[in-house]
Structure 1
Amino acid sequence: MSKTLKDAKFSVLDLSPITEGSTAAAAFKNSLDLAQHAEKWGYNRYWVAEHHSMPGIASSATSVLIGYIAGGTSKIRVGSGGIMLPNHAPLVIAEQFGTLESLYPNRIDLGLGRAPGSDQLTANALRRGGKRDGSDFPEMLEDLRQFLRPYEQTGLPVRAIPGEGLNIPIWLLGSSGFSAKLAAELGLPFAFASHFSSDYTIPALQIYHQNFKPSTVLEKPYVMVGANVIISETEEKAKYLATSSQQQFLSLIRGRPTQMMPPVENMDEIWSPYERSVVQQQLKSSIIGTQEIVAAKLEAFLKETQADEVIVNTALYSHQERLESFKLLKEIVM
C-alpha cells in the first residue's frame, strides 16, 4: 500500500547556516530556536550535519552542537545527520555519544557517514595517518559498535565510559549504494541523501530492501529520505527564497564556498549556463512552492520512495522565513 503524507514521519535536518555578515554564534541561536519550534510543532527528530572548512556552515563540532540543542529542548530526538566516522577514532565517538545519551536519555541518534564532509585537502587534515577514501568504514563501524556493547559481552581491554551498554540508535547514511547494502546486511535503519543525490535514491533503496536482514535492532527495513523543501505564500516568493541555496551550491562548484547569501531576483546575472545546469541537476529534487504545490510533490515523492520518514532541509537566508516554511510544512503533514 502506497505511503501518504499522514503515514510518514517528518524531521528536520539543520546545517546551522551562517548568513552573510553574521557569526557562528548567531547560527547556533537560530538552530536552537528552530529546534524548539520543531519540538512544539511535532517534528520527530532534529539532526545536525558534520561539515568542515565551510564558511556558511557552523555544525562542524557536531557532537557539541547536539548537546546544546538537546539541552535546550525536552522531548524531540536529537542526533547527527551525520557524523563522518572516518574523520574520528571510534572510541571518541562512543564516548561523545555515550555522554550525550547519559545526559539526555532515549533522545540521541547516531547517524554515520563515510564521506569527509568537505574537500580532499580538508579530509587530509582531518584523517592524518588514516585512509583517505573511507574504505575502512565497515571496520570502524564494527569497532564503534563493540565499544557501545555491554562490557560483559565484549570484555574489551579498552572501554568507552560513558558509552558501553547504552542503547544509542545507529543509522547509516549514504548517497550511493555502499551504505545501503551495509545497513541492510547489519539490519540497521538507513537514511539516504536524496536531497542532493536524487538520481541514486531508488537504486539505493532497492539495494537496502532487497538485502535487508532482520536484526536485534530492526525486524524490518526502515528508510528515511532527505528533501529540500521551501514553502511560502506564493510560488514566486518560494523560488526567490531558494536562490540563497542555489548561490551556496554555486560557490561550492566554483571552489570558493561562501556564507549563506541573501536571495536575488535573477540568478542568470550570477551563474553561467553551464553552472546553472550543474546546480539545477544537484538540486533537482527540491520541492519549492505554496502549500498546495509542496503537498502534491511530497505525496508523489513518498509514493515513489515508500519511505518511512522524510528529513527536511530548508536552507534560507532569513531565519524567520525558515521558521515560517517549517510551520507551513507542519500544517500540511501533521
Structure 2
Amino acid sequence: MSTALSILDLATIAPGQSARDSFANSVALAQAAERTGYRRVWYAEHHNMGSIASSATSVLIGHIAEHTDTIRLGSGGIMLPNHSPLVIAEQFGTLETLFPGRIDLGLGRAPGSDQKTMFALRRNPASADSFPQDVLELQGYLSGRSRVSGVQAVPRAEGVVPLYILGSSLFGAQLAAQLGLPYAFASHFAPDALHQAVNVYRESFRPSEQLAEPYVMAGVNVFAAENTEEAVEQKTIAYRTRTRMFIKRGAADASYTDAEIDAFLASPNGRQLASMTTYTAVGTPAEVVAYLDDFAASIGADELILAHSATQIDDRVRSVELTGSAMAAAAHEPAVG
C-alpha cells in the first residue's frame, strides 16, 4: 500500500476518566504513530463537548510535540471563523519556531460548537462568510507578506507552516482548488459528498507556491485487532458510546441500555447517525489494510487520515500499531504479475 497514513486524534475523554487522562492517552497514541511510520497526527477544535479535550488545539499540539521527536503534528482543524487570523498565525508561528519542520495548519469554517457556544466565543454566525479572505490574510502573516499594512505576526517561523483546507462539502473543495492547497475531506463522519467533492477539487485545482498538483486526504474510522471478532466488539462498544454522547447532549438522562441504543441506530431517526460512520475499516491488520487500499483507490487519495476510535486507550494504541506495521509490510511487498 503506497498511500500515506496519518491519524486524527479526537482526544476523547472516556467515561470515568479526566482531561489529564485524555492528554496522556494522546501522547501515547502519537508515540505509537511515530514508532510505526505514520506521517502526521492532527487534533480538532471542538468546544463545549464534555467528551473531547482538544478545545485549546495549539496548546495540545505543543504538548504532544514535547513528547515526540519526528512526527508531524497539526490541526484537523482550527475553525478559523472562531479566531482572528493574526492570533492563529502567532500561535502556529510559535509552534513552528519551537518544533521546526513538524507543524501543520489545517483550517475549517464550521463552528465546532452549538449556537450558545458561538455566543460564548463572541462569534458572529456570519463570520464564516469571510473564511476565504481570512485564509488569505493568515497565509500572508505566515509567509511574511502581510495583507494588513503595518501588521506582522510575531514570531514568524523561518520554516513553512503548510496550510490544508478541511471540509465536508463542495465549498471547501472549490476553495482548496482555487488557492492551490491540499484538501482533506471529513469522510470519517460526513461521507455523503466525498466523491463529488474530490472530483471538483481535482478538476478546478490551480497550482500555487505551496502545491504544484492536487493533494487529497480523506478520513476513515479504524478498528484493528488481532482477530476480527475483537475488532467488531471494539467498534460496537465505541459506536454505542458515541451514540449515547450525541443523545446526552440534549437530554438530562441518557441511561440507555445497549439494546435500546442498537434499536435507535436501526430506526429511521438513528440511521442518519449510523450512516455518519459509513467509512469504517474493522478487522485484522490484513483486513484493515485491504479496506484502506480499496477506499484510497476509489478516490485516488494521496493520504488517509485515520480515526482509531476504540474506547480503551490500549486498544487504540494497538490498533495504531497493527495498522501501521501492516501498512509498512504491504508497501514493501513485491508487485504481482
Please report the TM-score for the alignment, with normalisation by the length of structure 1: 0.90
Displacement, 1:234?
2.6
Aligned with residue 233 of structure 1, among 222, 226, 232: 226
Matched with 1:188 is: 181
Which residue identity lines up with residue 326 of structure 2 in the other structure?
I
**Distance change in 2, residues 1:290/1:133 (3 Å):** farther
Note if 1:268 corresponds to 2:262.
yes
- How many equivalent residue pairs? 323
**Distance change in 2, residues 1:249/1:123 (3 Å):** farther
Displacement, 1:202?
0.5
Note if 1:322 corresponds to 2:316.
yes
Matched with 1:62 is: 57
**Distance change in 2, residues 1:75/1:227 (3 Å):** same
Q: Percent of counterpart pairs with the same letter?
A: 44
3-state SS, counterpart of residue 317 of structure 2: helix
Matched with 2:120 is: 125
Mapped to 2, the partners of 1:245 and 1:117 lie a distance apart of 21
Aligned with residue 221 of structure 1, among 200, 206, 214: 214
3-state SS, counterpart of residue 199 of structure 1: coil
Matched with 1:51 is: 46
Mapped to 2, the partners of 1:257 and 1:294 lie a distance apart of 34
Matched with 1:25 is: 20
Matched with 2:205 is: 212
8 Å contact from structure 1 (residues 9, 310) kept in 2: yes
Select between 60-69 and 231-240 the one with higher mean Cα deviation: 231-240
8 Å contact from structure 2 (residues 221, 307) kept in 1: yes
Displacement, 1:287?
1.3
Matched with 1:96 is: 91
**Distance change in 2, residues 1:64/1:167 (3 Å):** same
**Distance change in 2, residues 1:133/1:93 (3 Å):** closer
Note if 1:140 corresponds to 2:144.
no
3-state SS, counterpart of residue 204 of structure 1: helix
Which residue identity lines up with residue 141 of structure 1 in the other structure?
V
Mapped to 1, the partners of 2:258 and 2:266 lie a distance apart of 16
8 Å contact from structure 2 (residues 264, 270) kept in 1: no
Select between 270-279 and 214-223 the one with higher mean Cα deviation: 270-279
1:172-199, Cα deviation, whole Å (9 max, x unpaired) = 0001111111110111111111111212
Note if 1:109 corresponds to 2:92.
no
Aligned with residue 277 of structure 1, among 244, 247, 271: 271
3-state SS, counterpart of residue 129 of structure 2: coil
Mapped to 2, the partners of 1:275 and 1:287 lie a distance apart of 24
**Distance change in 2, residues 1:158/1:168 (3 Å):** same
1:284-319, Cα deviation, whole Å (9 max, x unpaired) = 111112223222211210110110000100122211
1:61-120, Cα deviation, whole Å (9 max, x unpaired) = 000000001111111000000000000111100000000000001110000000011222
8 Å contact from structure 2 (residues 97, 158) kept in 1: no
Matched with 2:333 is: none
Matched with 1:174 is: 167
Select between 284-293 and 163-172 the one with higher mean Cα deviation: 163-172
Displacement, 1:149?
2.3
Displacement, 1:163?
2.5
Select between 226-235 and 241-250 the one with higher mean Cα deviation: 241-250
8 Å contact from structure 1 (residues 150, 165) kept in 2: no
Matched with 1:294 is: 288
**Distance change in 2, residues 1:248/1:140 (3 Å):** farther
Mapped to 2, the partners of 1:145 and 1:248 lie a distance apart of 39
Please report the TM-score for the alignment, with normalisation by the length of structure 2: 0.90
Which residue identity lines up with residue 315 of structure 2 in the other structure?
E
3-state SS, counterpart of residue 305 of structure 2: strand
Gaps of 5+ in 1: none
**Distance change in 2, residues 1:167/1:253 (3 Å):** same
Aligned with residue 150 of structure 2, among 157, 163, 169: 157
**Distance change in 2, residues 1:289/1:172 (3 Å):** same
8 Å contact from structure 1 (residues 56, 257) kept in 2: no
CA-atom RMSD in angstroms: 2.2
Mapped to 2, the partners of 1:210 and 1:137 lie a distance apart of 22
**Distance change in 2, residues 1:289/1:95 (3 Å):** same
Note if 1:38 corresponds to 2:16.
no
**Distance change in 2, residues 1:275/1:314 (3 Å):** farther
Mapped to 2, the partners of 1:55 and 1:317 lie a distance apart of 15
Gaps of 5+ in 2: 329-337
